[in-house]
Chain A
Amino acid sequence: MTRNEDNPIITLISSMVAPFIMLFGLYVIFHGHYSPGGGFQGGTLLAASIILLRLALGSELGKKQFPSRWGTPLGSLGVLIYFGTGLAALLLGGTFLNYAFLPFSPQASHNRYWGILSIEIGVGLAVMAVLVAIYDDLLEGEPRA
């Protein structure tokens, strides 16, 4: 899995398919309100697209797009976005995660809509980063052929 096999079919197909998987992952995150989806599911699809490239192209080429050292900090950043939304709600007068107090719009229902979207984005980022980090850690000690 760490070597680049130089198989033209795998290289071509995976490079073509990965952007579409990412796009679908973003679609699933943003449409969690209206259809099955949400942060966890979309984050897993985003991680799948990144891991596909690592599997197909080998470790060196696959890590050019998403280096492994970004894993843990991006995961923390994603959960901090979630936490920040709740904290903003707490500081602006309500209880933690009470989206009605967010400053996006004067109507409470719109604020709840934007609040949920914001935490789903945080969760999607965190799940993507953590799944890629798990994959990288499990392959860390593999001997180079």
Chain B
Amino acid sequence: MIPTNAPALTPLLFLFTGLLIPLAAFKFRRLAYWLALSATAAASAVALSNIFRVLDGRAIHYRFGGWPPPIGIEYVLDPLSAFVTSVINVIALIVLIHARRTVEADLPQGKRVPYYALVMLMMSGFNGIVMTGDFFNLYVFLEICSLALYGLVAVGDRKSPVAAFRYLVLGMIGGCFYLLGVGFLYMSSGSLNMADLKAILLVLGPRPGVIVALAFMLLGFGLKMALFPLHGWLPDAYTYAPTATSSLMAPIGTKIGAYGLIRVLFFVFGLQFITQTVPVATVIAWLSAAAILYGSIQAMAQDEMKRMLAFSSVAQVGYIGLGIGLANAWGLVGALLHVLNHGLMKACLFLVAGNFRMKLGHSRISRLDQEARRRMPWTTAAFTLAALSMIGLPPTVGFFSKWYLAWGSIRNGSWVFLAVILVSSLLNAVYFFRVVERLYLKPADRPPEAEKSGAAARVRSEVGASMLVPTLVLAAALLVVGLLNAFIVKGVLLKILPPGLAGMNP
């Protein structure tokens, strides 16, 4: 039963658990966390096994209600959706292991059970967006995950309701623009199914209705993905949300917008449409280049670590957008690899920020010094490894996605984008080494007696195992996935490329 129902299993599993948690935890409050964790573990197992089901490149279609498309809604399991769901679910599993202690520390007693229910609904929304093959179904799951995210962001410190309100208004506008795009597309073609629309659009050509639909859908996905200049909600939402929410939202949320963009641009509208008929890809590439520079420069000016990581996310989303906008095989592989890499790196960095908040009480960069490193050596080591990966030093993962993106720019002859990628690596080095320098080199102000007793006075207060192990696992994964990235590219990513893109000959 599992193989035949594989495409629909992950969103349904999360939805079921999200509904079960308020009922089950009526009596047993502690059950909420374990139900959430086991659902995420089961969904990760299903998502990873799904990759092996589609290794030959053929897609599995699943009809809801037995109605054939385009009358019914269908879910499609093809290499792209299998890859993205695996990334999302595995990272969510690792972050949820870390989340138990921070949720206990950040949230009052009565809010923990609804928190886990909302996390399950959010994961159901993310998986539904990736798995679905129907445009309106994508809107439904987009709104499910957005509503859950508004609630998850709002339970943080004092300023979080304002951040959540801004996210709500902007997210709602984005969703409405996407719905408007779907409306125009339906009015022009009469179908809502993605595969069907691909065939119809070849006949329709660049009508005004179709072009307007593409523009509106681009706005909707761009806002979800926080592509510059639609990123206004992101810094406040990432900073003021509780630790577990930031760690879940940052590695995964923006990737869903990127997935939507890839799916609509490459698999529905087609390469010819987006490069020659309407130069959408060029627009996205230039906006992404602006995002990379803007995010990196703004990140240098921040004092709070989570806010710096938020602006850094704006820049990293720019890399993914650049890979999409280059519209050649190297660029798309770079973008997809960066989806995986940035998920791992950002999750590790936000977990480190959570560890600092837990033990030091703050995550302000100006207040970090050697004392923090002496107290929490493993966390600092994980931060350093993740920082090296963000800058792009081999053999960590960050290097390889920038490598593919650089090759993609060279193939297109876009020297400006190549310069942007190189300059931004330098800017990344500036704002990450600022923190690393403080942690390793800035002397702490300690009273003179403590200096004399030396090693005996050193207080080690590293975070507990349930928070440390996920951080270290993610940091180790940065090295392991970097060394094994050739297998990922050859085995999975090359199969994702749509038939229009040329092969990857250097």
> Are A and B in direct contact (Cβ within 8 Å)?
yes
Chain A interface residues toward B at CB < 8 A: 72-73, 76-77, 79-80, 83, 86-87, 90-91, 94-100
The smallest C-beta distance from B26 to any residue of chain A, in angstroms, reads: 6
Contacts of A98 in B (CB 8 A): 64-66
Taking a contact as CB atoms under 8 Å apart, the answer to whether A100 and B66 are in contact is yes
> Can you name 5 A-B residue pairings with CB atoms under 8 Å?
A73-B23, A76-B19, A80-B19, A83-B16, A98-B66
Contacts of A77 in B (CB 8 A): 23
The smallest C-beta distance from A90 to any residue of chain B, in angstroms, reads: 6
For the complex of A and B, the 5 pairs showing the least CB-CB separation, nearest first, are: A98-B66, A97-B65, A76-B22, A76-B19, A80-B19
Taking a contact as CB atoms under 8 Å apart, the answer to whether B23 and A95 are in contact is no
Interface SS of B by simple majority: helix
Contacts of A91 in B (CB 8 A): 1
Taking a contact as CB atoms under 8 Å apart, the answer to whether B5 and A95 are in contact is yes
Contact residue among A80, A95, A99, A100 (Cβ-Cβ distance under 8 Å from B20): A80
Taking a contact as CB atoms under 8 Å apart, the answer to whether B5 and A80 are in contact is no
Taking a contact as CB atoms under 8 Å apart, the answer to whether B22 and A95 are in contact is no
Contacts of B114 in A (CB 8 A): 72
B8 in contact (CB, < 8 A): yes
Contacts of B20 in A (CB 8 A): 76, 80
Contact residue among A72, A96, A99 (Cβ-Cβ distance under 8 Å from B5): A96
CA separation between A91 and B8, bound complex, in Å? 13
Contact residue among A76, A79, A83, A96 (Cβ-Cβ distance under 8 Å from B64): A96
Task: Beyond the given A80-B23, A94-B66, please list 19 additional residue pairs across the A-B interface where CB-CB is below 8 A.
Answer: A73-B26, A76-B19, A76-B22, A80-B19, A83-B15, A87-B16, A90-B1, A95-B8, A95-B62, A95-B66, A96-B5, A96-B8, A96-B12, A96-B64, A96-B65, A97-B64, A97-B65, A98-B66, A100-B66
Contacts of B1 in A (CB 8 A): 90-91
CA separation between A109 and B414, bound complex, in Å? 60
B53 in contact (CB, < 8 A): no
CA separation between A80 and B19, bound complex, in Å? 7
- A79-B19 contact, Cβ under 8 Å, with A73-B26, A95-B5, A96-B8: yes
For the side of the interface on B, what is the size category?
10 to 19
The smallest C-beta distance from A5 to any residue of chain B, in angstroms, reads: 31
In chain B, what residue has the closest Cβ to A72? B22
B495 in contact (CB, < 8 A): no
B411 in contact (CB, < 8 A): no
The smallest C-beta distance from A70 to any residue of chain B, in angstroms, reads: 11
Most B-side CB within 10 Å, residue of A76, A79, A100: A76
Against A, the Cβ 8 Å flags (1 = close, 0 = not) of B437-462 are 00000000000000000000000000
CA separation between A80 and B20, bound complex, in Å? 8
Contact residue among A83, A90, A94, A100 (Cβ-Cβ distance under 8 Å from B19): A83
Against A, the Cβ 8 Å flags (1 = close, 0 = not) of B19-52 are 1101100100000000000000000000000000
Contacts of B19 in A (CB 8 A): 76, 79-80, 83
Contact residue among B5, B15, B22 (Cβ-Cβ distance under 8 Å from A90): B5
CA separation between A120 and B369, bound complex, in Å? 60
Contacts of A73 in B (CB 8 A): 22-23, 26
Taking a contact as CB atoms under 8 Å apart, the answer to whether A95 and B63 are in contact is yes
Contact residue among A72, A79, A80, A99 (Cβ-Cβ distance under 8 Å from B65): A99
CA separation between A38 and B345, bound complex, in Å? 47
Contacts of A99 in B (CB 8 A): 65
Contacts of B15 in A (CB 8 A): 83
